[in-house]
Structure 1
Amino acid sequence: MGYSLDPISDNCYPGTAVLINKFDIHDEAKLNEVETVLVSARSAEWMEHPKADSFDFTHYKAVHHFLFSDLYDWAGQIRTVDISKKGTRFCSAENIERQAELIFHRLKERNYFKNLPHGKFVDEIVDFYCVTNDLHPFREGNGRTQRAFLTQLIRDTGYDINWAEVDGDLLMIATIQSAQGVTDLLKKILNEAVSC
């Protein structure tokens, strides 16, 4: 988890940074364990049988809802507080809808990156990754939602990606760098991970 919040108590149990959850788990480590198991299973289920294929913001929110609704009442809902993580400040809560409209309009305008050669396709995926990371529309679970959505989008174009083969620590470094405008490492990782 590890987000810095304004205010710190939003959606958390009083006096803690533990998100209020349907299992009433007050221990952050235990919640992380349960979340990992549940969300991994739900993600695999989504990949096997996606519940949406519009590739718009409604679809993006549907992915989040599907992955996290077993845990959180607010799954699929846009966050109402500003958040930051590891020195990266994400889109302000009040601007999420407007930014999302621009991001997903551009995706549609670009025909969902279909029929692009590998290099150009990876460039577009890197850009989309960066802008959706900056958007960070949910209180928790942004990266997992982003990866599930991207996997479905990538597969819809005829390419493929296997996030399990991507070094998570390296991806985190690349994500932090890309938030500061340096996308070289992210591009290298995705260039290797995206296959025909």
Structure 2
Amino acid sequence: MAYSLEPVSQDCYPGTTVLVNKLNIRDEATLNEAEALITYINASKLEYCPLEGVFDFTHYKAIHHFLFSELYDWAGQVRKVNISKKATCFCRPERIETQAQLIFQRLKERDCFKGLSHHDFVDEIVDFYCVTNMLHPFREGNGRTQRAFLAQLIRNAGYDINWAEVDGDLLMIATIQAAQGVTDLLRSVFQESVREGVF
């Protein structure tokens, strides 16, 4: 949970940075392990049975809820605290809903990127990845939600991606660079990872 928070560790047990959770785990390493296991299982379920939705912000939040509701009461809810990570400051909580409306309205207007050439599709996915990363609407679990949503969005458009084949360290570096406005590496990652769908 490598977020920087201001100024109080909201949603955490008193005197700690451990998020209050339904399992009442008070140790951060133990919580991280439980969270990783639970969300891995739930993400695997989504691979075989995608969550129905129309690729709007409600759909996005529903995926977060599906992944994290066994752990957190606030799963699927927009965060109420400012967060930053590796010198990247994410969207302020009071602006999340407004920004999300713009992001997902554009997605709707672009027909969820269906019918695009691979080159144009990758460009759109890179842009969508960047804006949803900067939105970072949840207290925790933004990357996992983003990847689950993107997998479903990509397949809906006739392409495919296997996140297990994506180098996680490379994606992290590309994401950090993209947050600073340099998207070349991120585009390269998606260019290689997004393929014609096999159905």
Provide TM-score, normalisation by structure 1.
0.99
Please say if 1:161 is aligned against 2:161: yes
Task: Give per-residue Cα distances to partners, 1:79-118, cap 9 Å, x unaligned.
Answer: 0011000110000000000000000000001110000000
Please say if 1:44 is aligned against 2:44: yes
Cα distance in 1 between the residues matched to 2:59 and 2:22: 24
State the identity %.
Answer: 68
1:141: which partner in 2? 141
| Kept after mapping to 2: 8 A contact 1:62/1:76 | yes
Give the letter aligned to residue 169 of structure 1.
D
2:120: which partner in 1? 120
Q: CA deviation at 1:38?
A: 0.4
SS in structure 1 at match of 2:5: strand
| Kept after mapping to 2: 8 A contact 1:3/1:84 | yes
Question: Which segments of 5 or more consecutive residues in structure 2 lack a partner in the other structure?
Answer: none
Q: CA deviation at 1:9?
A: 1.7
Structure 1 outlier segments of 4+, above 2 Å:
none
Give the letter aligned to residue 168 of structure 2.
G
1:189: which partner in 2? 189
The 10-residue stretch of structure 1 (41-50 or 127-136) with the greater mean CA deviation from structure 2: 41-50
Give the letter aligned to residue 77 of structure 1.
Q
Question: Which segments of 5 or more consecutive residues in structure 1 lack a partner in the other structure?
Answer: none
Q: CA deviation at 1:7?
A: 3.0
Cα distance in 2 between the residues matched to 1:33 and 1:136: 22
1:27: which partner in 2? 27
1:108: which partner in 2? 108
Task: Give per-residue Cα distances to partners, 1:46-74, cap 9 Å, x unaligned.
Answer: 22112222100000000000000000000
Task: Give per-residue Cα distances to partners, 1:5-57, cap 9 Å, x unaligned.
Answer: 12332000111111000111111111010001100000111221122221000
Cα distance in 1 between the residues matched to 2:180 and 2:58: 28
Cα distance in 2 between the residues matched to 1:8 and 1:171: 30
2:3: which partner in 1? 3
| Kept after mapping to 2: 8 A contact 1:8/1:17 | no
SS in structure 2 at match of 1:171: helix
1:94: which partner in 2? 94
Give the letter aligned to residue 86 of structure 1.
K
Please say if 1:129 is aligned against 2:129: yes
SS in structure 1 at match of 2:169: helix
Superposed CA RMSD: 0.7
